[in-house]
Structure 1
Amino acid sequence: MSTDYYEILGVAKDASPEEIKKAYRRKARTMHPDVASEPDAADRFKEVAQAYETLSDPKKRQMYDLGGPSMNGMGGMGGMGGFGGGQAGFDFTNLVDAMFGGGAGGGGRGPRPRVRRGQDALVRLDLDLADAAFGVTKQVKVDTAVLCPRCSGTGAEGESKPEPCATCHGQGDVTQVQRSFIGDIRTTQPCPTCRGYGTVIPHPCSECSGDGRIRSQRSLNVKIPAGVDTGNRIHLDSQGEIGPGGGPAGDLYVELRVGEHEVFKRHGEDLDMVVKIPMTSAALGTRIEVATLEADLADTPEADRTTAIDVPAGTQSGTRIELDDKGVPRLRGHGRGKLGVTLLVQTPTKLDEQQREALRQLASLRGEEETEVAVQRQHKGVFGRLRDVFAGQ
Structure 2
Amino acid sequence: MSKRDYYETLGVDRTASDDDVKKAYRKLARQYHPDLHTGEQQKKQSEEKFKEINEAYEHLSDQEKRKRYDMFGHAGSQGGAGFEGFDFGRGGGFGDVFNDIFEDFFGGQRGGTRAERGNDLQYNLEITFEESVYGKEAKLKIPRWESCLDCKGTGAKAGSSLKTCPSCKGAGQIRLQQGFFSVSRPCGQCEGAGKIITEPCPVCQGRQRIYRERTIAVHIPAGIETGMRLRLSNEGEHGVNGGPPGDLYVAISVKAHQVFQRKGSDILCDVPISFLTAALGGKIEVPTLKGTTVIKVPAGTQHDKILRLKGLGIPSLKDKSTGDQVYTMKIQIPTKLTARQKELLTEFAKESGMSMEADGDGFFDKMKTFFE
Q: Aligned-pair distance for 1:235?
A: 2.3
Q: Where do residues 311-390 of structure 1 align in structure 2 (5 Å cutoff)?
A: 311-373=297-359, 375=363
Contact 1:106–1:190 (8 Å) recurs in 2 = no
Question: 1:212 aligned to 2:178?
Answer: no
Query: What SS does structure 1 have at the residue aligned with 2:151?
Result: coil
Aligned pair in 2 of structure 1 residues 209, 105: CA closer, same or farther (>3 Å)?
farther
| 1:109 alignment partner AA | Q
Distance 1:106 1:270 in 2: 62
- The structure 1 residue matched to 2:197, chosen from 185, 193, 201, is 201
Aligned pair in 2 of structure 1 residues 368, 137: CA closer, same or farther (>3 Å)?
same
Distance 1:101 1:343 in 2: 67
| 1:263 alignment partner AA | V
Q: Aligned-pair distance for 1:35?
A: 8.7
Q: Where do residues 253-268 of structure 1 align in structure 2 (5 Å cutoff)?
A: 253-268=249-264
Aligned pair in 2 of structure 1 residues 137, 36: CA closer, same or farther (>3 Å)?
closer
Distance 1:36 1:165 in 2: 35
Contact 2:283–2:296 (8 Å) recurs in 1 = yes
With normalisation by structure 1, the TM-score equals: 0.63
Distance 1:177 1:292 in 2: 78
Distance 1:265 1:188 in 2: 62
Aligned pair in 2 of structure 1 residues 35, 277: CA closer, same or farther (>3 Å)?
same
Contact 2:273–2:331 (8 Å) recurs in 1 = yes
**Matched residue, 1:145:** 145
Q: Aligned-pair distance for 1:191?
A: 0.3
Question: 1:283 aligned to 2:279?
Answer: yes
- The structure 1 residue matched to 2:234, chosen from 232, 238, 245, is 238
Query: What SS does structure 1 have at the residue aligned with 2:238?
Result: coil
Distance 2:153 2:264 in 1: 46
Query: What SS does structure 1 have at the residue aligned with 2:40?
Result: coil
Distance 1:208 1:307 in 2: 60
**Matched residue, 1:33:** 40
Contact 1:153–1:212 (8 Å) recurs in 2 = yes
| 2:292 alignment partner AA | T
Unmatched runs of 5 consecutive residues or more in structure 1: 1-27, 38-96, 295-304, 389-393
Question: 1:188 aligned to 2:174?
Answer: no
Contact 2:112–2:173 (8 Å) recurs in 1 = no
Aligned pair in 2 of structure 1 residues 105, 184: CA closer, same or farther (>3 Å)?
closer
| 2:222 alignment partner AA | A
Aligned pair in 2 of structure 1 residues 323, 138: CA closer, same or farther (>3 Å)?
same
Query: What SS does structure 2 have at the residue aligned with 1:205?
Result: coil
With normalisation by structure 2, the TM-score equals: 0.67
Q: Aligned-pair distance for 1:149?
A: 3.6
Unmatched runs of 5 consecutive residues or more in structure 2: 1-34, 45-97
**Matched residue, 2:160:** 160
Q: Deviations over 1:44-76 (max 9, x none)?
A: xxxxxxxxxxxxxxxxxxxxxxxxxxxxxxxxx
Contact 2:112–2:171 (8 Å) recurs in 1 = no
Aligned pair in 2 of structure 1 residues 245, 206: CA closer, same or farther (>3 Å)?
farther
| 1:255 alignment partner AA | A
Distance 2:186 2:214 in 1: 35
Query: What SS does structure 2 have at the residue aligned with 1:276?
Result: strand
Distance 1:332 1:239 in 2: 25
| 2:128 alignment partner AA | D
**Identical positions, percent:** 35
Contact 2:106–2:181 (8 Å) recurs in 1 = no
Q: Aligned-pair distance for 1:343?
A: 0.6
Contact 1:211–1:245 (8 Å) recurs in 2 = no
Aligned pair in 2 of structure 1 residues 140, 377: CA closer, same or farther (>3 Å)?
farther
Contact 1:106–1:189 (8 Å) recurs in 2 = no
Aligned pair in 2 of structure 1 residues 282, 376: CA closer, same or farther (>3 Å)?
farther
**Matched residue, 1:124:** 124
Aligned pair in 2 of structure 1 residues 281, 175: CA closer, same or farther (>3 Å)?
same
Contact 1:155–1:245 (8 Å) recurs in 2 = no
- Structure with larger Rg: 1
Distance 2:284 2:352 in 1: 27
Aligned pair in 2 of structure 1 residues 335, 104: CA closer, same or farther (>3 Å)?
same
Question: What is the number of equivalent residue pairs in this alignment?
Answer: 280
Question: 1:249 aligned to 2:270?
Answer: no
